[in-house]
Structures are given as structure tokens and as C-alpha cells.
Amino acid sequence: MLQCVADMNLSNSYGKVDVPRQLVIERDASSIPDVVLKAGLTLPLVAKPLVADGSAKSHELSLAYDQYSLKKLEPPLVLQEFVNHGGVLFKVYIVGEAIKVVRRFSLPDVTKQDLSTSAGVFRFPRVSCAAASADDADLDPCVAELPPRPLLERLAKELRRQLGLRLFNLDIIREHGTRDQFYVIDINYFPGYGKMPEYEHIFTDFLLSLTQSRYKKKSC
């Protein structure tokens, strides 16, 4: 699904949307360093489970700082280049035509000093879950500013068309130090809407719109 975002090459006056470079590793952890090297991916790398089955482990992220530590990862997984983003991500819920955005705490930024002094794999359970809400936190305005609405509307419209989905959410980050460079780092179809503020009204309106649409078609 992230490939759809990459293929869009979405860029306008409100910003640019891309995806971090990534690799799918299905087996053989010992080969990961060579595969990463050949692909030209830059450390550190975020490791995500390939299969999301609802378990606690399926929501666990790992951050690998060096080539040697890559062998400690457990395939199958997705490796994604880490992009500094101020420790905050935007969870964008799409329900039909409606869009709702919330802020969540995310992985902390990695400095050059961190890369030179740190090694190994650091694990982060339940990153960006509802308990990690950053909506009421005292954040740097440059970090807290939501992505422009017109940019999100264009992105959501294209994804609805290409993926054939009406119920999904996106995890979006803004590259730290920029105002208009965004990355989609994850897409989930039919996510848990109970975590979305005002989900009752938004979801009810969505179901009513579907019913009204079908009624109009029958009337015609």
C-alpha cells in the first residue's frame, strides 16, 4: 500500500508526500546486513513485523543502529529508513470523505552522536497507541503543526481511488527541520476507530451517507 503513495509523487504548494525507503525481509536474519548494504539503505533502520495479527508483538517496533545488530532481528519483517520527525507522528483516520487527525508520541530523533556512540537493537512496544496521545502536550509549534488539510484531502482521495478503501488510517511524519516534507510510514485498513475522537458521530454519518447513496440509486 505504501508503494501507491510513492507512485503518486504527490507534491503541491502545501507540501510533498513520500515514503521512506524500505525492504521486506522474509527469512534468514544473517543475510540482512548484506541485503541492506546492496539496497543502499541508511542506518538507523526501523524494523516492523510483517504480519500484524493484533498481538502485542505485532505492534512492537525496533530501531537498529548498526550493521551487526541487524542480524539480531527476527524475520519476517519490514525494514524502513528512519526519518527524524521531532518524536511526534500524525495519525490520520479516513472514514469515507471524513478526515480526522490526532497527534501521537513516536520514536525520538536520532542524532549523529547517537549513531556514533550507540549500537544494538532498541525495542519500542506499542508506539503511537492511544495512550501515547500528544494532542494536549506542550510541543514545539513547528513539530505540533498538523499537515495542511488540502494536502491530506488530496492524499486521501488518491488512496481511496487506488486502494479501493473507504475505511483506513495513515501514520504520517514531518521531517524534522522542514515544514512541508512529509512521509507516510504506515497504512492500516479498517483500524480501531474507537481510538478516534468523535468516532461515533463520524462513523454514523458515514453509514448514513452509504444508505442515502444506495437509496438514490434505487430511486433512479
Same domain? For 162 and 88 the reply is yes
Same domain? For 94 and 137 the reply is yes
- State the CB neighbour count (10 A cutoff) for residue 82: 21
Q: Extract the C-alpha cell encoding 14.
A: 502545501
Query: Which residues is 12 bridged to in the sheet?
Result: 15
CA distances from 67 to 35, 39, 48, 211 (A): 11, 13, 17, 54
User: For the whole model, what pTM was predicted?
Assistant: 0.90
Same domain? For 188 and 166 the reply is yes
Same domain? For 96 and 1 the reply is yes
Residue 188 lies in a domain: yes
Please count the structural domains in the chain. 2
Same domain? For 62 and 166 the reply is no
Same domain? For 100 and 174 the reply is yes
* Domain, as residue range, for 67: 21-82
Same domain? For 64 and 143 the reply is no
- Per-residue pLDDT of the chain in tens (220 residues, 90 and over written 9): 889 999 999 999 999 999 999 999 999 999 999 999 999 999 999 999 887 666 656 668 899 999 999 999 999 999 999 999 999 999 999 999 999 999 999 999 999 899 888 889 998 876 766 567 888 888 999 999 999 999 999 999 999 999 999 999 999 999 999 999 999 999 998 888 888 888 899 999 999 998 888 777 776 6
Pairing of strands 77-81, 22-25: antiparallel
CA distances from 82 to 48, 51, 119, 124 (A): 12, 20, 15, 14
Same domain? For 166 and 102 the reply is yes
CA distances from 202 to 95, 155, 175, 199, 214 (A): 7, 19, 30, 5, 19
